[in-house]
Amino acid sequence: MASLFNQSLARARYGNCGVWISGKQEGLAPTHFAMRIATPTASAFLPEKHDLTSLREAAQHCEGCPLYANATQTVFGAGPARAEVMMVGEQPGDVEDRQGKPFVGPAGRLLDQLLEEAGIPRQLVYVTNAVKHFKWTSRGKRRLHSKPNSREIFACRPWLEAELEAIKPEILVLMGATAAQSLLGLQFRITKQRGQPFESDWAPWTMATYHPSALLRAIHQPGEEQLRRNFLDDLQLVAEKLAELK
């Protein structure tokens, strides 16, 4: 049946990424098929030219994973093309999805405040996300953030890599486990390794820290002050490194 075949195609495209599938097309010629389905990613949607404007435009049409289907638009990174500092979050939230810009909702406002407190001029920073579409589940009228899985993070990485190659930041700050997982692998632990700069494949000075949403979730909780202090300490290191570059 056609519908059965479509289902298995959909599974092949998104569900069983990178595995062998085999089956029989019922109702059509009785051909058995077996093929290796390449893991779908954003790479097929990357433009020829990799300047930020071309990338941003092309990303609007990305269907490299299923997340585009339920989101309003692609939320690409924003900031100066020659930024010395690049900060990577997880994925756009509800407000970002509607406005099409990263970190303009509650987490973004908190980040702006903390950057200011640490003395890092916001306009020098390019901000982006590991995953460029908002993933959510509905709770009544609200759209609740839902964590991207490792297939989605992997699928979206070509955009992040292209941004890194276009900007070539001196300082790279990965905020939260998703950003760290995307660029440093699954074994990286924010809790153990945050606040420790190192040289990575992506930037001469790379550091992971908390995601600002972790601070939002901690408001009025016992660990709130400590979390905020740690985050500010980490941003202080960024500010010092930035001053060194001047």
Binding site for ligand SF4 (CB under 6 A): 42, 59, 62-65, 67-68, 74, 131-133, 152, 155-156, 159
Contact partner at residue 133 from ligand SF4, ligand URA, none, CB < 5 to 8 Å by partner kind: ligand SF4
> Of ligand URA, ligand SF4, none, which one does residue 102 interact with (CB within 5 to 8 Å by kind)?
ligand URA
Cβ-based nearer residue to ligand SF4, 148 or 197? 148
Q: In angstroms, what is the C-alpha Rg of the chain? A: 20
Work out how close the CB of 120 gets to ligand URA at its nearest, in angstroms, rounded to a whole number: 17
**Interface residues with ligand URA (CB under 6 A)?**
89-93, 96, 102-103, 105, 107-108, 129, 213
Residues whose CB falls within 8 Å of the CB of residue 3, separated by 6 or more in sequence, listed in order: none
- Minimum separation from the CB atom of position 91 to ligand URA (A): 6
Q: Which is nearer to ligand URA, 40 or 89 (CB)?
A: 89
Task: Please name which of 131, 122, 11 lies closest in space to residue 64, comparing C-alpha atoms.
Answer: 131
205 binds, among ligand SF4, ligand URA, none (CB under 5 to 8 A by kind): none
Alpha helices by DSSP H, listed for the chain, are: 2-10, 52-59, 94-99, 106-118, 150-167, 177-184, 190-193, 212-218, 224-245
* Shorter beta-carbon distance to ligand URA: residue 181 or 213: 213
Integer Cα distance of 36 and 144 in angstroms: 35
**Which of residues 90 and 152 has its CB atom nearest to ligand SF4 in the complex?**
152
CB of 72 vs ligand URA, minimal distance in Å: 13
CB 129 within 8 A of CB 90: yes
Least Cα distance to 128 among 99, 103, 157 occurs for 103
Q: Would you say 12 or 104 has its CB closer to ligand URA?
A: 104
* Least distance (Å) between residue 129 CB and ligand URA: 5
- Minimum distance from residue 94 beta carbon to ligand URA (Å): 9
Distance, CA of 246 to CA of 243 (rounded, Å): 5
Q: Which residues, in sequence order, are CB contacts of 77 under 8 Å at separation 6+?
A: 52, 56, 86, 102, 126, 127, 128, 129, 163
Cα 216 to chain centroid distance, Å, stands at 19
